Amino acid sequence: MSGDRQPRSVIRFENWVFVPDQEPDAEPITYAMQCAVCEEQSAAGLDYTEGQAWALRHSGRNPSHHTYRELVTRPWRCWMRGY
């Protein structure tokens, strides 16, 4: 049976951590607003009030557009937890 060697699998379970990235070099959290009627959206910015101001202007120009989505981009990190 010396020629019948079968490869064997080794499975190792690891604990992973997944958290918002708050490292100094993390991408910033950005905010934007999107019109749910026409899907036009504001530019992404660091201050959520910029998107809100855009939504108010957009509603003023389009009186039937009064439903919006907030789009938040938040960086996350994942790594294996050491023991």
CB atoms under 10 Å from CB of 62, counted, come to 13
CA distance 10 to 77: 27
pLDDT of residue 81: 81
Rg (CA), the chain: 24
pLDDT of residue 38: 98
pLDDT of residue 4: 73
pLDDT of residue 79: 87
pLDDT of residue 3: 65
Token pair belonging to 31: 């905010």
> Which tops the pLDDT comparison, 3 or 4?
4
pLDDT per residue as tens digits for the range 6-65 = 878 766 777 889 999 999 999 999 999 999 999 999 999 999 999 999 999 999 999 999
